[in-house]
Chains A and B, each alone.
Chain A
Amino acid sequence: MRELEAVALNDMRKENVIALVRDKWLSLLKGRAIARDEFARLAQPFKRPLYNLVAKSLNFSEDAEDVYQEVMMRGFKYLHSLRDRESFRQWIFSIAHNEIKRYYRRRGRDSSTPFDEALAVPPAGNPQLVGEIYRIASRLKPSQREVFFLFYQSEFSIREIHEITGLGEGNVKYILNQARNRIRLVLGGKT
């Protein structure tokens, strides 16, 4: 009788283990789809701003597409590490900053792609002025150019740029002021 009970108990345990594993597998499969949907939902409003930041920080280099793709892939891979979904924007731009930095580290110092003026022609507005501004930005160092576009393209505040790039707030202000001084010379005669 005890043996029969023991066998029955053993079978019950086996069934419990199987049921537990089956439930976990199902929840994991469901979890994968949820993770993909959540990332797509969170990233959607920032795709274009991210692509533009990367493209402009890389002087419209063809490599911008690869760097942008890498940013999105890393974003998906490490989304689980982001506790506060509200700070997704800053988080994904931090990833973009790291990827831009990594790109320039791989290519070596002062390895910016030469600026192609033909690429800096806006569809409307003042093409000459826009061209001048992009020319000024293209002459900045890669890290300074990124700060410039984080401020003027992505509209981050100085504090947010400090948090994204790790540069001191004073340093960010200095970079922006230098760019402003150059721009003022251009704008002075043309606005």
Chain B
Amino acid sequence: MTDNRMGNQDDLVRRLVQSLDREIPAATEERLDLWLKRAAAAGTPRRRRLILSLTTVAVLALLVLSLGPLRSWRREAAGLPRPPAPSGEVKMEVELRNKNIKIIWFRKEGFNLRKG
């Protein structure tokens, strides 16, 4: 059989085969559309993994940031010296110019005045 005749026969068979084309049943289409909507709302497995990992990272980051202030408290509990308190409000300044001396009074933050 020559290529040309084979091609003609193929074209004829194609036409005959395709003359019997079926429509997709409407119920199948509806079911599929519904499934697609639900699947899109739920996300693909890759998206679900992405969302899960993102949420985990966010929760861990927030946890670490929230627990930050507890660090100094833990230092005290462990008997470690507290870091020096920052200087507080400046109360008074006296300058002895002739002796090249400057005296500054300030109250340290949290200093107990009634101590002793």
Chains A and B form a bound pair: yes
Question: Residues of A with Cβ closer than 8 Å to B?
Answer: 1-3, 6-7, 10, 13-14, 17-18, 20-21, 24-25, 28, 31-33, 35-36, 39-40, 47-48, 51-52, 55-56, 65, 68-69, 72-73, 76-77, 79-80, 120-126, 129-130, 133-134, 137, 149, 151-153, 155, 180, 183-184, 187, 191
B76 at the interface (CB under 8 A from A): no
With a cutoff of 8 Å between Cβ atoms, the chain A residues found around residue B23 in the complex are 48
Q: Is the CB of B35 within 8 A of A73?
A: yes
Q: How many A-B residue pairs have CB under 8 A?
A: 123
Q: Which of A40, A65, A184 contacts B28 (CB 8 A)?
A: A65
A180 CA / B58 CA spacing, docked (Å): 63
A123 CA / B20 CA spacing, docked (Å): 7
Q: Is the CB of A122 within 8 A of B19?
A: yes
Task: Please report whether the interface of chain B is mostly helix, strand, loop or mixed according to DSSP.
Answer: helix
Q: Which of B19, B28, B41 contacts A32 (CB 8 A)?
A: B41
Q: Which of B19, B40, B41, B58 contacts A130 (CB 8 A)?
A: B19
